[in-house]
Every structure is written in structure tokens, then in C-alpha cells.
Chain A
Amino acid sequence: MNGIEIENISKSYGATLALDALTFTVQPGERFGLLGPDGAGKSTLFKILTTLLIPDTGRASVAGWDVNKDFATIRRHIGYMPGRFSLYPDLSVAENLNFFATIFGTKVKANYELIRPIYEQIEPFSKRRAGALSGGMKQKLALCCALIHQPKVLFLDEPTTGVDAVSRDEFWVMLGELKKAGITILVSTPYMDEAARCERVALLQTGKILALDTPANVVNAFNQPLWAVRADNYYQLLLDLRQASFTERAEVFGEFIHLTTHTGTDRESIVAYAQSGGHGNIVVEPAKASIEDVFLALM
């Protein structure tokens, strides 16, 4: 039983409610994503689950142990990668890894197999001080340090923040590999496009869950007509579309404007409306909702 159970957890800081009666379960061996912006309560939840913080109300268990009562046991069996780079910059790569192995009462050798695929990538730099590593390598080292004692549950708080796209991609591939070792992973990210890398996701906003399901199901639940629209004068088109009677919502979405319309609106009427506004090079296509569309609709 390596899952996580969260039942009615609330936590406030003064007048600010950081977590509002949160309830959900992470299955053993699952790669579960917490999606939400800064201030959604992701870090607070991580601190409660890693026994660093006591919730105001509710109970939670990690791998079957209660976060309040059995905190000492939990601390032996979890790996935690906090939001910021939290290793010793003045220690070398190898020294950091050895230190974390020793304080968990183990040896790097004993668990090398688990971290080998990751550590091999940074091994050429094992004598380099951690502070002098690139963002992506720091992140790999931090993951190695969090894994070195073979934890049952791994908590990764915004591991991909501040890391370039290549390293982010590699990181998610590594998390996929860990699945084989049966480690439960709870990972948080503010980047909506990373949702697809998780088996299930929870969309978190101001301490509440907006949606919780597999990424595919979350997106499929979006059942309004959605269009990708653009024209030469992008910004003016956005302002114009917001005035249209068929518009539910018009949001900038990169190159296109994502236009949510009332059911029954067809492509032609949108094109006609844009033409009447004097826009040129009008493109209107049906669009497939993304996690971000869902998030915007639920907020």
C-alpha cells in the first residue's frame, strides 16, 4: 500500500485559506500531477504530506502511515524534491549524493541501480560543485538525491520550473522510467502542457480542486464548441469577437484566439462576423480543447 490518501485537508495562513477541504486519493505506483498556478496551494499540500506542516483539519496518509502520528516513519520512506534547488551548492555532485545516502542510513552503491539511468548523465561532472551545474543537471542531481534511499513515495514540487525545454522533456522521460520501480509519484507543475505526462491530474486553484481525472478525460469533459480564430489584426479581432452575440468567451491562445461559442454556432457565421468587422486573412477552424481551455472554463 504505497498510495496517498487525503481527506478533507484544510490549512490557512492567517486569513488566507491555502487549502480548502481537499480530498483525493493517489493510487499506489501512480504518477499523479497537481496542476495549478503559484498560490494554488501545491506547496502547502506537499509540506503537509511530507510531514513538514500540520494541517488545520482533516487527515492524510502516505503509504498507509498517518502524516501526524507516524511522521518519523514517513520521513524514512519518502523522497522529497522541494520547489527550489535545495542541495548544497558548495558540495560536489558526488558529495551531495553521498551525504543524502548517509543520512538515510544507506550507501550510494546499495541503490545505484535505481538512479543509474539518471546519474550516468551527470556522472562525468561528479567532481563539479553542484552550484556550477546547469539547471537541467541540478534537477537531475536533486532527483538522484531524492531517490537514493529507494523511497516508496516521491514528492516533486515544481521540478521543471526554471529548466529549459530539453531538460524538461528528459525529466518527464525519467519519471516514466521510475514507474517500473513501482514508486508512487506526486508531482506538481504550473505548466498546463505537462499535464499529458501524468496518469491522472488534479487542477488546483486557490486551494480547491477544479477537476480530477486522466488528462484525456479532463479535456473530453469540455463540451462546448471551441474554435481557433485569427486574422491580420489579432488584437482588434479579439476585442471584436468579445462583442459578438455568439461568443461565450474569447481568449488569446498563442497564434490563435480560442473562441468558445454557444452551441449551434457554425463556422460561417463567425467568418461573416469577422468580415463585417473589416478583418482580412480570416482563419476559423474547429479546435480541440487543451487543459488550459478546461482550466479557463472552470475558473
Chain B
Amino acid sequence: MQSYLAFVRKEFYHILRDTRTLVILFGMPIAQVLIFGYAVTNEFRDAPVAVIDNARDELSRELVHELVSSGYFKLVDQPATADELDALFRAGEVKLGVFIPPDFESDFFRRKQTTLQFLADGSDPNYATTLLNYGSQIVGNFQQRHAGGPENYQVGVEMQLMYNPELISAYNFIPGVVAIILLLISAMMTSLTIAKEKEMGTMDLLLVSPLSPLTIILGKVTPYVLLSMSNALLILLLGYFVFDVPVLGSFWLLTGFCLLYVLTALSLGILISTKASSQQAAMMGSLFSLLMPSMLLSGFIFPITSMPWMLQKVSGVIPATYFIELLKGVMLKGLGMQYLWFPTLVLATMTVVLLSLSWFNFKIRTK
């Protein structure tokens, strides 16, 4: 116990005395959250809109007028066909397309139900969501005024994003950033620090001491568990207070999932360090086998559903995929264990397998 504590203290000294480590530990999460967060712009005026008005009746004209007079949208064209609209999108002249169905007015008053279609240019996803949100809000006001209450008449707004159907938004990126940062700290930093001891030759001294391998590993990872967890908290707080990303579900369940994922990442880190004899090798190993796939294939940046079959399979073995699913479930949907047992089970199984692999690969002797 004494030597375990001494080990943990030593690790903290290493961390606190290395500016590079400190920057990665505390600068990265804040920078990532802010960069992703402020890429979401909420203010706009006169967004170019094209309307295909197939109804051409009183009500449809009123709706178009309502959209334009809000000041948010500017009517730039009224194409006749969907193909023309598509051309406008491609030319970048239009950011939002509104499709009004034939018999809009009669359907609205008679059958009390009709559907408008909004199309937005998803290549700039944050902008696109904002446009859609404003658009549907205007439609909501419009219908309320005409019908005296939402119960009686309904205009459904069918929204479609072109080019990037699943969006990165504040809601999406906070879980993603948590997943990446935890991976960075738990897996990459752990593998780096073990590789560093090998490189410096101090690993030989530790092995030649009475320290058990378990103490060495636990001593190495404890500080990083603590740091990972405080970083996760920091990101969640930033998300909550700066970008209004809620935590609808249980906070403790969320903490539990973070811990489980940290364990997975740590065992990955230890596994990498058992194979890598230099810091450079550890760095390359964790960048290419962990960070890149987790960024690109976990659903953080690109939606899994739109990936080719092969990449979907790869995505299925990436721990971050399941962790992001868990985080979104708890934070955004407020789900409990009864809905999340599957990703939890997958993550737990991965952890057990990886931990035993790294345990058996940890050498009590050197080469």
C-alpha cells in the first residue's frame, strides 16, 4: 500500500511538472468543446430561400410572405420543379428549399392536415439545423394564428437535410468530445508514460524492485483515472452551462458509464504499451489504432448508418461507438439501464477481454 501510494505520488509529479502533458490534459478538452461549440452559429439574416409553390392559393402566398417578413429569410427564386431547386442548391444560391403541396389551403381547412417539406443544405450542418428550426417555428406560429389552437389544424413540417442527414450539433458533439478526450487521456497518455519508463530504463529498475506488476500498473493508471473523470465532468459542465446540453437521465449512471469506458481505454493503453518500446511507437500506435478510428468511425463525426458495410463492421468493434450511444441515451434521451443494457454489455465484455490480454502481455522481464 505504501509503495502504491508512493507510485501514485510519483506519477502526479510527472504529470504536474510536464507542461506538455498539462496542456493536453486541460487545454484539449476546453479547446475541443469551444471549437465545436462555437462552430455552431445561431445568428443569421436573409438566408436565401427558394419556394416551390404547387398550391398557389391564398394561404400558400400568406405563408411565403410570413417566412420572408420574419427577416430571417429572403426569397431568391421560385423554381417550378425539384430539379431546378436541386440546381440552385448545387450552385450554392439557396440554403433552404420550401415545398408547398398542391391543395395546401383546402387540405389545411378541410382535412385539417397537410405537410410542408423543408429542404436544407446539410453541407454546412450547423447552419442548416438553425434554418430548419427557425422555419418550423414560423410555420408553427402561422398555423396557430389561423386555427386558434394547435389541436384543430395541423401543418406537419417534414424536414430533410441534404448531403449530411445526421448532424453534428451541440447535442451531438459533447458526447463525442467526452469519448475522444477520455480515450486520449486514458489510453494514449497511459501508453506514453509506460513507454517512457521503458525508454529511460527506469522500467528495469521497477521490475528489479519487489513491486508487483499489479502495483506498477495500478500506480500508473490511478492518476489517469482521476484525471479522466475530472475531465469528463469538466466537459459535461461546459456543455451544460455554455451550450445548454442537458443531462436528462441519471447522473450516477452517466458517471458509471464514464468509468467503464475509462477502464476500457486504460486496458487498451496498457496493451499498446506492452507492445511499444518507445514513446514514439506508443504515440503512433494510439493515434492510428485508437484516436483516428474513434474520431471517424464511432458516429462522432460521420453517421454510422451512412458508412459502407465494411466500415460499419469496424465501427462495431470500436469502444467509443458504444460509449457515445450510452452517453446520448442518458444525456439526451434520459434512458435508463433497461434500454441501455446492450451497449453496456458490449463495453464490459471488451474491457474484460482487453484487460486480460494486457495482463498476460505485461512482461515481468525485459528483452
Chain A residues with a Cβ under 8 A of chain B: 47, 50-54, 71-72, 75-76, 78, 80, 82-91, 95, 98-100, 102-105, 145
Contact = CB atoms under 8 A, between A and B. Distances in A.
20 contacts: A47-B204, A50-B208, A51-B365, A52-B204, A52-B207, A53-B366, A83-B201, A86-B200, A86-B204, A90-B13, A90-B17, A91-B10, A91-B14, A103-B3, A103-B7, A103-B209, A103-B210, A103-B211, A104-B209, A145-B205
* Closest A-B pairs by Cβ, 4 of them: A86-B201, A102-B6, A103-B3, A76-B210
Contact of A100 (B200, B204, B205): B205
Given A47-B366, A52-B366, A91-B13, A84 B209 contact: no
B201 A53 contact: no
B208 A52 contact: yes
A88 B14 contact: yes
Contacts of B365: 51-54
B205 A86 contact: yes
Nearest to B7: A103
B18 interface: yes
Nearest to B207: A52
B2 interface: yes
B341 to A, nearest CB: 42
Given A51-B365, A53-B366, A90-B17, A104 B210 contact: yes
Interface in B1-59: 2-3, 6-7, 10, 13-14, 17-18
Contacts of B209: 75, 100, 103-104
B168 to A, nearest CB: 39
Contacts of B207: 52, 75
Nearest to B206: A103
B210 A90 contact: no
Interface of B is mostly: helix
A102 B2 contact: yes
A105 B2 contact: yes
Given A53-B365, A75-B210, A103 B18 contact: no
B181 to A, nearest CB: 24
B202 interface: yes
A294 B9 CA distance: 51
A82 B17 contact: no
A199 B47 CA distance: 90
A83 B200 CA distance: 11
Contacts of A76: 210
A104 B211 CA distance: 7
B118 to A, nearest CB: 58
A88 B6 CA distance: 14
Contacts of A75: 207-210
A142 to B, nearest CB: 9
